[in-house]
Amino acid sequence: MQLGVDRLLDRLAAGELDPTYFLYGEEPLQLSECGDEVRRQAHNAGIVERLVFDIDSASDWQAVNGETSAMSLFSERRLIEIRLGNRKPDKNGSAVLEAIAKRSSADDVYLISTGKLDGSARKTAWFKMLEKSTVSVASRDLKAAQLPAWLGRRAARFGKRVSAEAAALIADRVEGNLLAAAQEVEKLCLLVDGESIGERDVLSAVSDSARYDVYQLVDAALGRDLPRALRIARGLREEGTEPVLVIWALGRELRPLANMANSVAEGTSVAAALEQYHIWSSRKGLIGSVLKRLEAAELAEILSYANYIDTVVKGGRSGAPWDDIEILLLRICGVEGAARLTPNY
């Protein structure tokens, strides 16, 4: 069964959980969110055991085959994820995927994902079998004319409405980058109190940050300009900026960075990771430098700390959010010993 991204999300939101999902395509944000929704629905269905296979070699396929063959031995349902990345399955892998697609048992739920596939891959038996016998979703870059409607649906998740003029303005600013578009919508939904977001709100969100811009703070931290990053952070604090907006801006930059770092650790080149996540040309140098100086494990720890600060600023834990934000800036800038300042959490 072939579905579009929105149709899959609607189906999952309605509580429908199918035995096998096949997600592929060139647009990473939609792929990631579709996978998240499958996992959420599996959890809602009572599936607590999750097995993840990142395919690197033939031995990985042997492990997948072992789990597939042994599934009748388990009384509890499992979510089994098979991540191909940009790799094509070998002969054994193709046989395993075809067997999964043909299976009649619905005891376990399978989530198979891969990146962009070329024409030759789409002609293979394993691809045709998965596309025919599973719930398959292709994630594609949106055309310029499709982006305003997508922005409207995105805002609706937060209980907001975006005017046609506002959507067009956002679409023009992000130039087709869905990750940037999603971040713009989330920021506006935080800033705008009413239910509607208009063109004036979009323009105001830009002009209000003219002196101490949270985006300038992010870039200063990523560029290891600690004095400037601290000066901007303290300026934002003095101007009464809510820390929730600051940690949101830092977190939304750290999340894709952590994902890109994982890809680089698995063998993807920095240049390929930047392309995969649609990093703007003007930012490739900055983001690339971060990926070269911070390893995946360190970025994961920094992101975890940012998530902790987010709970503090939202009242979920006690703490001093602005102090924590400054420590986070120290860690992003790579100051030696900054990790020792991090509170236990």
Kind of pairing, strands 161-162 and 196-197? parallel
For residues 330 and 216, membership in a common domain is answered with yes
Q: What is the CATH number of the domain that holds 240?
A: 1.20.272.10
For residues 255 and 310, membership in a common domain is answered with yes
CA gap 220, 228 in Å, rounded = 6
CA distances from 69 to 18, 63, 99, 102, 111 (A): 20, 10, 10, 13, 17
Q: What is the pLDDT of residue 104?
A: 60
Q: What is the pLDDT of residue 67?
A: 78
Each residue's pLDDT tens digit in the chain (345 positions)? 889 888 898 899 888 899 999 999 888 888 888 999 999 999 998 888 888 888 876 668 888 888 777 654 555 788 999 998 777 888 888 888 888 888 766 678 999 999 888 888 888 889 989 988 899 999 888 887 788 889 998 898 889 999 988 888 888 777 677 888 888 888 899 888 889 998 888 877 654 443 447 888 999 999 999 999 999 999 888 888 888 889 988 998 999 999 999 999 999 999 999 988 888 777 889 999 999 999 999 999 999 999 999 999 888 888 899 999 999 999 999 998 888 888 877
| Cα–Cα–Cα angle for 138, 6, 101, rounded to 5 degrees | 45
For residues 323 and 229, membership in a common domain is answered with yes
pTM of this prediction exceeds 0.85: no
CA gap 88, 114 in Å, rounded = 9
Q: What is the pLDDT of residue 207?
A: 45
Q: What is the DSSP letter of 25?
A: E
Q: What is the pLDDT of residue 75?
A: 58
Q: What is the pLDDT of residue 120?
A: 83
CB 87 within 8 A of CB 58: no
The amino acid that residue 57 corresponds to is: S
**CA proximity to 241, closest of 195, 208, 193, 207:** 208
Q: Which two tokens stand for residue 206?
A: 């830009």
Task: Quote the number of domains for the chain.
Answer: 3
For residues 175 and 230, membership in a common domain is answered with no
Q: Which domain holds residue 219?
A: 209-345
Q: What is the DSSP letter of 343?
A: P
Q: Which two tokens stand for residue 83?
A: 């991540």
Kind of pairing, strands 78-83 and 109-113? parallel
CA distances from 59 to 28, 53, 54, 139, 284 (A): 27, 11, 11, 29, 35
Q: What is the CATH number of the domain that holds 38?
A: 3.40.50.300
Single residue among 83, 108, 139 that ends a domain in this structure: 139
Q: What is the pLDDT of residue 210?
A: 37
For residues 89 and 110, membership in a common domain is answered with yes
CA distances from 117 to 64, 85, 114, 143 (A): 22, 10, 8, 19
For residues 98 and 192, membership in a common domain is answered with no
For residues 107 and 185, membership in a common domain is answered with no
